[in-house]
Amino acid sequence: MTAYDDQNIYAKILRGELPAERVYEDDETLVIMDIMPRSDGHCLVLPKTPARNVLDAPTDMLAAVSRTTQIMARAVLQAFNADGVTIQQFNEAAGGQVVFHLHVHVIPRFDGIKLGPHTGKMEDGAVLKVNADKIRAAVGT
């Protein structure tokens, strides 16, 4: 397996070198809005310490990421009055991983509405902020 690359985009966000719409944070994890969302409210759970993916992550890191993923799943359901939630996590290029820092996608879902494509089109920052505000409010309740 390839070694962790500390120049990946999520590592840079975690170090404050790149901007991101931050939604939630605790001692071990950070949640940011996905800049190319597949649904309104699509966010990403990141561990704060380096791990390429689930294959090299320590079990305590996975536990922290899982706890935050559950918090976010409940929050996006409430914030967007969603009917369900899709949770995705990819490992290595053949498994669909594009950014090689462990992360979990939390995507609100709605009956009868297909998941949007991952087109590479960036969402407007103002829209991401509005959606992040909704999630932050739900986490606070």
Tens digit of pLDDT at every position of the chain (141 positions): 688 999 999 999 999 999 999 999 999 999 999 999 999 999 999 999 999 999 999 999 999 999 999 999 999 999 999 999 999 999 999 999 999 999 999 999 999 999 988 777 899 999 999 999 999 999 986
Range of the domain at 67: 9-139
In a domain, 128, yes or no: yes
Domain of 40: which CATH number? Answer: 3.30.428.10
Residue 36 falls inside a structural domain: yes
Residue 91 lies in a domain: yes
The count of structural domains within the chain is 1
pLDDT of residue 119: 73
Q: Does 1 fall in a domain?
A: no
Is the Cβ–Cβ distance between 34 and 105 less than 8 Å? Answer: yes
Q: Which residues are catalytic?
A: 103
The string of DSSP codes covering 74-92 is HHHHHHTT-SEEEEE---S
137 sits in which H/E element: helix 125-139
- Amino acid 141: pLDDT: 64
pLDDT at 30: 98
pTM comes to: 0.96
